[in-house]
Amino acid sequence: MVLRVAVVGAGAAGMSAASRVKRLLRDKAEVVVFEKSGWVSFALCGTPYYLGCRVKRLEELLYYSPEEFTKKRGIKINLYTEVVDVEADARRIRYRTRSGEEGVYEYDYLVLATGAKPRVPREWLMYKNVFALHSLDEADAIRKYVVDNSVKRVAVIGGGYTGIEAADNIAELGREVVLIHSRDHLANKVLDPEMAEVVEEKARSRGVELVLGKRAVSIEGDGGVARRVVLEGGDSVEADAFIVSPGIVPDTALAEKAGLRIGETGAIWTDERMRTSNEYIYAIGDAVETRDIITGGRVWWPFAPAANKQGYVAGTNIAGGDAVFPGVLRSSAFGAFGLYVAATGLREEEASRYGFKPVAATLTARTKAHYFGGGPEIRLKVIADEETGRLLGAQAVSEDASAFWRVNVVAALIWGHGTVWDLFSYDISYWPGANPVWDPIVVAARLLLRHFAKRPWKTLN
149, amino acid identity: N
Task: Give the model's pLDDT for residue 68.
Answer: 87
Contacts of residue 90, Cβ cutoff 8 Å, sequence gap at least 6: 106
- Let me know whether 110 and 125 are in one domain: no
Catalytic residue chosen out of the listed positions 3, 45, 62, 212: 45
Residue 328 within a domain: no
Based on the fold, state whether residues 386 and 434 are members of the same structural domain: yes
Query: Are residues 234 and 134 part of one domain?
Result: yes
Domain's final residue, options 216, 246, 276 = 246
- Terminal Cα-to-Cα distance of the chain (whole angstroms): 53
- Asked whether the predicted pLDDT for residue 49 surpasses 80, the reply is yes
Same domain for 265 and 312, yes or no, is: yes
Nearest to 37 by CA among 51, 58, 22: 58
Give the orientation angle of helix 440-449 with respect to helix 402-415, to 10 degrees.
50
Q: What is the pLDDT at residue 460? A: 77
pLDDT band at 294 (very low <50, low <70, confident <90, very high): very high
Assign 150 a pLDDT band (cuts: 50, 70, 90). confident
- Residues 154, 227, single domain; the answer is yes
User: Angle, nearest 10°, between helix axes 12-25 and 304-318?
Assistant: 30
- Looking at the structure, tell me whether residues 346 and 453 fall in a common domain: yes
pLDDT digits (tens, 9 = 90+) for 375-423: 999 999 999 999 999 999 999 999 999 999 999 999 999 999 999 999 9
CB 333 within 8 A of CB 165: no
Nearest Cα neighbor of 164 from 143, 180, 183 is: 180
Shared-domain flag, residues 239 and 145: yes
Sheet strands (E) in 115-191? 116-118, 130-132, 153-157, 176-181
Whether residue 53 lies in the annotated active site: no
Contact 194, 200 (CB under 8 A): no
Residue 53 is assigned to a structural domain of this protein: no
The C-alpha atoms of residue 407 and residue 395 are separated, in whole angstroms, by 6
Q: Is residue 46 in some structural domain?
A: no
The kind and range of the H/E element at 459 are helix 456-459
Pairing status of strand 241-244 against strand 153-157: parallel
Query: Which amino acid appears at position 201 of this protein?
Result: E
pLDDT at 461 over 70: no
Torsion of CA 38, 44, 49, 55, to 10 degrees: -40
- Sign (positive/negative) of CA torsion 422, 395, 328, 64? negative
Contacting residues for 109 by C-beta, under 8 A, at least 6 apart:
3, 4, 5, 6, 280, 281, 282, 318
SS3 for 285?
helix
Q: Is residue 332 part of a domain?
A: no
Is residue 241 located within the same domain as residue 256? no
pLDDT in tens, 187-228: 999 999 999 999 999 999 999 999 999 999 999 999 999 999
Domain boundary (211, 246, 281) is at: 246
* Residue 109 and residue 154 share a domain: no
Out of 229, 246, 263, pick the residue that ends a domain.
Answer: 246
Count of structural domains within the chain? 3
Contacts of 79 (CB under 8 A, 6+ apart): 10, 35, 37, 38, 39, 40, 66
256 and 109 in a common domain: yes
Answer whether 449's CB lies under 8 Å from 359's CB.
no
Band (pLDDT 50/70/90 cuts) for residue 332 is very high
pLDDT confidence of 44, banded at 50, 70, 90? Answer: confident
Q: What are phi and psi of 180, to 5 degrees?
A: -110, 130
Does one domain contain both 202 and 260?
Answer: no
Instruction: Please check whether residue 237 lies inside any domain of the structure.
Output: yes
User: What type of residue sits at position 191?
Assistant: L
In a domain, 416, yes or no: yes
- 69 Cα distance to chain centroid: 25
Q: Say how many residues make up the chain.
A: 461
CATH number at residue 15: 3.50.50.60
- The per-residue pLDDT for 163 is 96
- Same structural domain, 207 and 286: no
Q: Which domain holds residue 235?
A: 120-246
How many CB atoms lie under 10 A from the CB of residue 347? Answer: 24
Instruction: Please state the pTM of the whole predicted model.
Output: 0.94
CA 459 – CA 452 distance, rounded (Å): 7
User: For residues 306 and 312, what is the distance between their CA atoms, to the nearest angstrom?
Assistant: 10
Q: Would you say residue 85 has pLDDT above 80?
A: yes
CB 365 within 8 A of CB 377: yes
Query: Is the residue at 47 inside a domain?
Result: no
The string over 386-399, giving b where at least 16 C-beta atoms fall within 10 Å of a residue's C-beta and e elsewhere, is eebbbbbbbbbbbb
- DSSP count for the chain of H helices, then E strands: 13, 25
Q: Residue 104 in contact with residue 4, Cβ under 8 Å?
A: no
Q: Is residue 36 part of a domain?
A: yes
